[in-house]
Amino acid sequence: MIKLSKKGGQNVKKFNWKKIVAPIIMLLIGLLGGLIGAFILLTAAGISFTNTTSTGIKTAKTVYSNTTDTTKAVKKVQNAVVSVINYQEGSSSDSLNNLYGHIFGGGDNSDSSQEKSKDSDGLQVAGEGSGVIYKKDGKEAYIVTNNHVVDGAKKLEIMLSDGSKITGDLVGKDTYSDLAVVKVSSDKISTVAEFADSNSLTVGEKAIAIGSPLGTEYANSVTEGIVSSLSRTVTMQNDNGETVSTNAIQTDAAINPGNSGGALINIEGQVIGINSSKISSTSAVAGSAVEGMGFAIPSNDVVEIINQLEKNGKVTRPALGISMVDLSNLSSSATSKLDLPDDVKSGVVVGSVQKGMPADGKLQENDVITEIDGKEVSSKTDIQTNLYSHSIGDTIKVTFYRGKDKKTEELKLTKSTEDLSD
């Protein structure tokens, strides 16, 4: 018997849409979730999606960390590095132009440029260098720079890292070390540099130079390299025309005119040296150019000098009263006349002895100094370094050869470099 539906038709099975739609929806949700997850991962990896429609190419908004040990070191000390501007009387435009060209590698010979460089007192910019703020004491702050940066200045102007300018007063300078100290008002000073122990440096460690290469236009420029060598002997003429040999750190960090007086720092942002000079050419090979050879005064030497300059305005150094020449610089014929033992290959030869000085009656011409206080001496720099580490009144032991005879004498340092005859 066939039953009739209430509507009068046959009994029909209903279609279950949920069994088909539900899996499709789950599939779509899973696909969408996967796309969102992939987008998040790609964005986190620094990959961005840019619009390259007909409107043009857009820059990618790459996300990455740009903070390194170098940037941290620079940030720590950068505001303590300043520009030092040397103003002098412009009596001769030609001579000023020549000096300007020497400092900057070129110059403008036009009268208008000279007029623009004049200040309200009629002084002209004679040169620009760098400096490092190392101390803030009440209303005053102190800056170390090179002596050759401030030499001859009638007025000193300091440009801070924010571009503002303040007047600087010369506290003291030293031609031998090529260092000078300048005093400024501390009102705008917020950052001072910290000195590292330069005796702890290692060849190959990072070295970062901060300064004003080519002047204030490029103030607070940063270059990076390594410590190329320690205890290099750099011989140069000071402002008095004297040939002096100084101890220096060698670096391949780019150092250019204007960097003089700026900071050479380590990876901790501590000052390891004050940039002083650069070798740009050599006579060893005629016409050869040199790059990557810059020199800085070691921080330990800097601290010793600036403490004296702050206190006395000058550096008083003991003197022996002798003229000297390195044994290694003598010809073989001249060396043979000294009649030294065969195993004596290095030392410093006494050229002459000044009367009334500590060496008088103790040393004589042609003596060859090999040790001071038990430390080996092989160059004039070694003697200067040892001697200048002592104070007036100290006594030193000098070991030397007089012919084949080895002798030791005690010399009391009663005289200073100011007592030396011209």
Tokens 């006579």 appear where? 283
Q: Which of 130, 186, 221, 260 is catalytic?
A: 260
Q: Which of 148, 301, 326, 367 is catalytic?
A: 148
Q: Is the dihedral of CA 85, 88, 94, 99 positive or negative?
A: negative
Q: Which of 174, 178, 367, 382 is catalytic?
A: 178
Helix H, strand E, coil C: the string for the chain is: CCCCCCCCCCCCCCCCCHHHHHHHHHHHHHHHHHHHHHHHHHHHCCCCCCCCCCCCCCCCCCCCCCCCHHHHHHHHHHHHEEEEEEEEECCCHHHHHHHHHHHHCCCCCCHHHHHHCECCCCEEEEEEEEEEEEEEECCEEEEEECHHHHCCCCEEEEECCCCCEEEEEEEEEECCCCEEEEEEECCCCCCCCCECCHHHCCCCCEEEEEECCCCHHHCCEEEEEEEEEEEEEEEEECCCCCEEEEEEEEECCCCCCCCCCCEEECCCCCEEEEEEEECCEECCCCCEECCCCEEEEEHHHHHHHHHHHHHHCCCCCECCCEEEEEHHHCCHHHHHHCCCCCCCCCCEEEEEECCCCCCECCECCCCEEEEECCEECCCHHHHHHHHCCCCCCCEEEEEEEECCEEEEEEEECCCEHHHCCC
Q: Are the beta carbons of 131 and 141 closer than 8 angstroms? A: no
Is 390 marked active-site?
no
d(CA 357, CA 165): 47
Q: Which two tokens stand for residue 420?
A: 């030396």
Is 148 marked active-site?
yes
Q: Which residues are catalytic?
A: 148, 178, 260
